[in-house]
Amino acid sequence: MLNSTGTPLVLLVNSEEWASRSFESILKPQGYVVLKAYTGHQGLGLAQKIRPDLIMIERRLPDMDGGEVSERMRELPTVRPSTPILAFTTGALTRKERLALLKAGAWDVLNPPFDPEEVVARVECYVDAKRDTDAAMEQSDVDPLTGLYNLHGTMKRMTELLSAARRNGRDLACVVVGPAHIEGNPAAGGEAGARLPEGVMGDGSEVGPDVTKPLADMMRATTRGSDAIGRIGDTDFVIVAPDIDEGGATRLAERLLEALEEHAKEDESLRTIQLKAGIYAVSRPEAGTNLVPESFLTHATTALRKAQLEGNGLRILAFSEE
């Protein structure tokens, strides 16, 4: 997945080739990379694979209305609330149509004739604002899509819980949950140890907000208030559970997998998803225990990866030094 780093990335969704070339000729000399889609469905498909800095959508597309595309873009995990969407039209636009586009999530609406300097000025303004917001988000502790801890927040909370476990001589467990299969499973003909591509479940299906958000809600409902829950990747979640040993962590993982099956009966988006879990627990660690949050998370993640590579029979695996 392409991230919003380095060269600014613009996704242009437009069926008119002359307009696409016009915007591309305006933006490319200013250092922007322009990726083009010619239908609404193509644009949505591309937006799931990249993390654009700005999206430009034509009002009238051959398969979808530009407003509908804008609304559906806003639902994608790769399109943050800070991602600017500019709607444009190559023809006349009524006040009602303009308002509809703005209400659908567009930040601005451009009308012909397109003044190159004005287009560049608007794009630069919106992209700068988006990147400033993203920089601030990277320093936050919360994942914007799910409301759970992000990796940064997870590590901070894990540090606190591990320190408390050492001070009070209490158990602490880490459960990492992810898709049942990953690319690189030798049984699937992949290279052992290969990582799962961002945004793709092990069975090849894409992970959108219709899956990620329900998964997060399910985990929140299944765990305790004292547990810290984080989203540490597009496909992986972590639960840091105080006062639980390895047996308790195994039972927690079992409850999560069972909860998925129950939620899938009512939520169609979850029916094709299968999960596995890796666990790691420490029993009453002493103050001098040489265990840092990074290794705590790594051990549980290693157990998950081994379970994923083992095939369908093994659903939950505890970390072992062997």
Q: How many helices (H) and strands (E) does the chain have?
A: 9, 10
Which phi and psi (to 5°) does residue 206 adopt?
-80, 145
Find, among 141, 183, 182, 135, the residue nearest to 158 by Cα. Answer: 141
So what's the pLDDT on residue 35? 94
Read off the DSSP letter of residue 40.
H
Q: How far is CA 37 from the centre of its chain?
A: 22
Residues of the chain with CATH 3.40.50.2300: 9-138
So what's the pLDDT on residue 149? 92
So what's the pLDDT on residue 27? 95
pLDDT in tens, 128-186: 999 888 887 777 888 878 889 998 899 999 999 998 898 888 999 999 998 886 544 43
Options 3.50.80.10, 3.30.300.30, 3.40.50.2300, 3.60.15.10; CATH of 9-138: 3.40.50.2300
**What letter represents residue 182's amino acid?**
I
**In which residue ranges of the chain is pLDDT below 70?**
1-5, 181-210, 286-290, 312, 322
So what's the pLDDT on residue 128? 93
pTM: 0.58
So what's the pLDDT on residue 292? 83
Cα gap 79→103, rounded to integer Å: 17
So what's the pLDDT on residue 190? 34
Percent pLDDT > 70 in the chain is: 87
Contact 55/101 with Cβ under 8 angstroms?
Answer: no
Options 3.40.50.2300, 3.30.70.270, 3.20.20.150, 3.30.300.30; CATH of 151-318: 3.30.70.270
Residues of the chain with CATH 3.30.70.270: 151-318
- Counting Cβ atoms within 10 Å, is residue 179 exposed (0-12), middle (13-18) or buried (19+)? buried
